[in-house]
Amino acid sequence: MYNILICDDEPDIVSALKIYLASDGYGIYEAYNGREAIEMMQKTEIHLVLMDIMMPEMDGIQTMVKIRENSNVPVIFLTAKSEDNDKVLGLMVGADDYITKPFNPVEVQARVKSQLRRYMQLGGGNMTKKNLAIGGIELDDSAKVVTLDGDAVSLTPTEYDILKLFMEQPGVVFSPKDIYRKVWKDAPFGSESTVAVHIRHLREKLEYDPANPRYLKVVWGQGYKMERGNTP
């Protein structure tokens, strides 16, 4: 059974999400601010976090930063339509996805299942072994390990899936919508900013000079591609 932590300062929202997700057999844990969420994760094995951005004591952005210090567990933000800047900031600090309030229960369940599936695959050894290497980047898909010039690189499940997509087809240009469909497995509405933030994160982790990337290139007006990086 997977454990989900729901963190929102509105009890009605927590209760509604608990009803939606408990029916799928998940263990549900509750928190009403960021500090409670961090404390819960320190004493309980959590597999996914659903978290509001605007909360007292410690907001979702601050909590996200704290979570990423020790964990790559999937985090889905719960946001209001007016919080577009906060959505982007949340993705920049390590969130995997977001759901806009008021939310559709079916969408919540689908997003949760998708992120859990990706996360558990990253932690399991039951997939076909596949080693990919481009320049100094190596991806071991059986161990779910990525290294850069021999040093381990910590990626979120979403970042890992994007990198794997690129490394499996070097030189192929993927539009933001293509990437969103293949990685998030969802309709690509408003996908451009979400994908751009994750690409920026990957560059920060894999490029020695993110402003002049060696591997992850923009093809203006078309999308992104992975270069082989044979030369500095």
SS3 155: coil
pLDDT of residue 218: 93
9 is written with which tokens? 């300062």
**Alpha-carbon dihedral angle through residues 107, 112, 113, 114, given to the nearest 10 degrees:** 90
For the chain, 232 residues long, the average pLDDT of each consecutive 10-residue run is 92 93 91 94 91 90 89 88 71 85 88 86 48 89 87 92 92 91 79 89 94 92 82 40
Report in angstroms the alpha-carbon separations of 70 from 41, 73, 84. 10, 9, 27
Q: Compute the distance between CA of residue 229 and CA of residue 106 in angstroms, rounded to an integer.
A: 42
pLDDT of residue 90: 75
Q: Compute the distance between CA of residue 180 and CA of residue 201 in angstroms, rounded to an integer.
A: 16
Q: Compute the distance between CA of residue 17 and CA of residue 30 in angstroms, rounded to an integer.
A: 10
- Residue boundaries of the structural domains of the chain: 3-123, 131-226
Residue with tokens 């209001």: 80
Q: Which residues pair with 27 in a beta bridge?
A: 3
Residue at 201: amino acid letter: H
pLDDT of residue 91: 82
What CATH fold (topology level) applies to the domain 3-123? Rossmann fold (3.40.50)
pLDDT of residue 164: 94
Contact 163, 139 (CB under 8 A): yes
- Intrachain domains 3-123 and 131-226 with the same fold: no
Residue ranges in 94-214 assigned as alpha helix (H):
105-123, 157-168, 176-183, 191-206
Q: How far apart are the first and last CA of the chain?
A: 46
pLDDT of residue 171: 87
What are 173-217's pLDDT values in tens digits?
999 999 998 898 877 676 788 899 999 999 999 999 999 999 999
Q: What is the DSSP letter of 174?
A: B
pLDDT of residue 229: 56
pLDDT of residue 29: 95
Does the reported pTM lie above 0.75? no
Q: Compute the distance between CA of residue 142 and CA of residue 25 in angstroms, rounded to an integer.
A: 28
Q: Tell me: domain 131-226, CATH 1.10.10.10, correct? A: yes
40 is written with which tokens? 């819960």
